[in-house]
Chain A
Amino acid sequence: DGGITQSPKYLFRKEGQNVTLSCEQNLNHDAMYWYRQDPGQGLRLIYYSQIVNDFQKGDIAEGYSVSREKKESFPLTVTSAQKNPTAFYLCASKGGGAGWFFGPGTRLTVL
């Protein structure tokens, strides 16, 4: 767990504004994932990347974008096209036979 970090912990977005959530890992994991969690609900997959410079849409990719220019970093941008972005965002990484390791999360609130 300690090898994957997210920032900021809390983020506030105004209407029509794009915001970027940071996710960094020093576990040397190839695969990284972004999940969204709404109150009282499970985790839904937004985007995932199995290798640098490659990523795939998850189940709820609309209104989000990602990049994977470095193995350690997988930032998520919440665009103005995402009409209901208030949620808890979790980044995770996975390497080899290991399970998923989650970051501490970013709580995004729309003002």
Chain B
Amino acid sequence: GENVEQHPSTLSVQEGDSAVIKCTYSDSASNYFPWYKQELGKRPQLIIDIRSNVGEKKDQRIAVTLNKTAKHFSLHITETQPEDSAVYFCAAYTSGGYNKLIFGAGTRLAVHP
């Protein structure tokens, strides 16, 4: 079945450094890739997304890149701040197919002051 692999599972950076989280998906027909941030005990919040007809998207300190050929997509956070500390999930969706949003296992990001 469909699968999304996410790496690393934990990531520790110093405040001001960049953080990169990578995901690989299995369904070549996947066409929508959101990223969610989840704080402890809270619901996941959408932070950025990208569709398959776009290679890169930026929103202030956050960017997402997509390589459809390799079936890879990545989240880049620049100038990290302590409030960026959370668990980040990538996901992949295929419209017109199973219509399921499949999540990666998550990355716990810790930003140290």
Interface residues of A (CB under 8 A from B): 1, 31, 33, 35, 40-45, 48, 50, 58-59, 90, 92, 94, 99-105
Complex partner residue of B99 from A42, A43, A48, CB under 8 angstroms:
A48
Verify B101–A33 contact, CB threshold 8 A.
Answer: yes
Verify A100–B46 contact, CB threshold 8 A.
Answer: yes
A-B contact pairs, 24 of them (CB 8 A): A31-B99, A33-B101, A35-B103, A40-B108, A41-B105, A42-B6, A42-B104, A42-B105, A42-B106, A43-B89, A44-B103, A45-B100, A45-B101, A48-B100, A50-B99, A58-B100, A92-B101, A99-B32, A99-B34, A99-B46, A100-B34, A103-B43, A104-B42, A104-B43
A41 to B44, CA, bound (A): 13
Give chain A residues whose Cβ lies under 8 Å from the Cβ of B49: 99
When C-beta atoms are compared, the residue in chain A nearest to B9 turns out to be A40
- The residues in B between 7 and 50 inclusive whose CB is less than 8 angstroms from any CB of A are 32, 34, 41-46, 49
Number of B positions contacting A (CB below 8 A): 21
Within the complex, the shortest CB–CB distance from A46 to chain B, in Å, comes to 11
Within the complex, the shortest CB–CB distance from A68 to chain B, in Å, comes to 14
Interface residues of B (CB under 8 A from A): 1, 6, 32, 34, 41-46, 49, 89, 99-106, 108
Interface of A is mostly: strand
Within the complex, the shortest CB–CB distance from B64 to chain A, in Å, comes to 13
Within the complex, the shortest CB–CB distance from B96 to chain A, in Å, comes to 11
Besides A90-B44, A100-B34, 18 new A-B residue pairs in contact (Cβ under 8 A), listed by A number: A1-B45, A33-B101, A35-B103, A40-B108, A42-B6, A42-B89, A42-B104, A42-B105, A42-B106, A43-B44, A43-B89, A50-B99, A99-B32, A99-B34, A100-B101, A104-B42, A105-B42, A105-B43
- For the complex of A and B, 10 pairs with smallest distance between CB atoms: A102-B43, A42-B105, A43-B103, A42-B103, A42-B106, A99-B46, A102-B44, A104-B43, A99-B34, A105-B43
Verify A41–B106 contact, CB threshold 8 A.
Answer: yes
When C-beta atoms are compared, the residue in chain B nearest to A41 turns out to be B105
